Structure 1
Amino acid sequence: MKFHHNLRGVALRNVVFAAAAIGLVFMLLAPLILRSRENARRNACLYHQKLLSEALIIYDEDHRQLPGYANLQDPGAADGATTGWLFPALPYLQSQLYPEPDQVPVPPYLEEFQAYSAQGELAGKRPDFTIYEAICPDDAPEDPEQWGGVNSYVVNGGMPDVAPTSTIPADWAANGIFQNRLNEKPDLAFQQFSLLQVSELDGLESTLLLGENVEAGSWTSPQENEIAFVWSNAPDAILGVNQQLGKGDGSARFARMSSYHPGGVNLMFASGAGKFISQNIDAVLLAQMQAPNDAQAKIAGTEELVWPRPNPPAGE
């Protein structure tokens, strides 16, 4: 009987060719797989923003006003614990789970909201529970046990607040949608637009409501720099989208939109429509998207218009 000793060599060569082919296919598919995962996380982030935006819109319909970026945890108290924009909207945040056809969806955090509200067993204490819809998948800590209080999303705060007076508010309502409702006192100037008013000004479709920021603070924080995004008429006063990621120092400079999504950020308009915008967006255009009334946008703390109307030609 004759043995063909070269059969082993042929088989090994086939294995090498097969491995090389598999490796080549993997190299070709790997970017597509990674891009698909990136898109899935980005879409999940946008979905979370949509749920939060819907909660704010329903809150506005119910109360004829929006919560501020800063609020009293118990609105009926003269003083007490403060909180951010999300806590008052929790009863309006719908569950991601689809109920049975004949069931009304139950707000997923209603029990927690009631516990920390007036007359609740935890009234006056700062909430520390996790709101999963407030976390972007690309911005979540690796350990879920560290998710308590984590927040990825910020609201349209206009220009950075200044010290208010009886005639000049901390920030003009024309500059942004969310104001500090802790300044809503008889001896202080205060104004905040409702969404109905915004619809009659620059429009809900062109005014920003919500965005994301990897430097955001806890969702319970009442600090504008931690839970809002802002703009400025001074060049380079506020960083551009995605600039200096992970280097936040808690200042208003970092109260801008940022994300770990390649190339840009997700945001929501006051109409409830979502969009992914490029990190290269023009700074003036972005500021005008934040101002619900461009024609009356004023530098915070002054009566000076940010974008004054040009003088008409003589004779007009």
Structure 2
Amino acid sequence: MVDNLQVSRDSGVPIFRQIVTQLSFMIESGDLEPGQSLPSARLLGDNLHINRNTVARAYAQLGELGLVESHGRSGTRVVGPGPAREASPARDQALDILRQAIRECIALGLTAAEIQPLVAGLAMRAEEDVLKVSFVECNVDRAKYFADELGEHLGLKVRPLVLGTFDAEEEQADLVLTTFFHLAEVRGLFRRPRTEVVAIVVAPHVQTLVQIASVPRDRTVGIWYRTDEQAVSVRDSLTQAGIENIEVLHGTEDEDLENVDLVVIPSETPELRTRLEGRIRVIEFGNVLDAASIRMVTEVVGDMQADKRGDQEATGS
């Protein structure tokens, strides 16, 4: 079945992404079954007349999607679409649509080998037309949490990205969202003129505010973050919420914690919590998306989608 895989250097879509799209379709449709071995990167690269590193990159992406697994010298094997995908109503509906379309193509006299590259090409073109949005954070859980939250509000898929774990040059993002904490760093990573970087505000969770507000006003709430800039931003957001007995900490030694009743730390530093517990009361700073930021991002997405539609109409695609 992999023998039917084809790539085009003239499509404008990166070759590794063409491979990912076609193999994903074969796995999703059941043409490639769980446990089946894929050709080695060298063998498939030779057959397609492309660099084996391109194939390896495609296999790595399929691994991130949970569709294949690498077994070292034993090669790469198909995992399958997985229980969640198998039970997906959207997937079942898509398969029904494709079955009907393929039957009509067969009736027109096309062969399966002729239909496959057409489907893959149209899928890749459609994927390129969809607005691609990512959310960047410094912590896996926070990145996924806020990406999912934003996706629900925006009505589209938002890809979570963790600082230090991705290559910005390879990310096909139209819009990159992040917090003001990381805005400068993220803008430095995404320098492409067609990628817009926008910062959103995350407000303190009500539970965080309740715990902080319980500290007597004659005592001090200490805030420790990796940078003073982040700590000051948290302090300012708490001050706006009416909590004023706050101090930015520049360390977590005993002398730094003198007269401090509670220390607020970022959720991505569990090792610090472990170090401080037993010495002082500690809470992690929980956040929720700011309503005004959601409205702003919704407007930005709407404008960008309108621009994309305009570009497509202008090019006739």
Q: TM-score band, normalised by the shorter chain?
A: under 0.3
Could you say which structure has the higher helix fraction? 2
The TM-score, its normalising length taken from structure 1, stands at 0.24
The TM-score, its normalising length taken from structure 2, stands at 0.24
Which structure has more RCO (C-alpha within 8 Å, separation ≥ 6)? 1
Could you say which structure has the higher strand fraction? 2
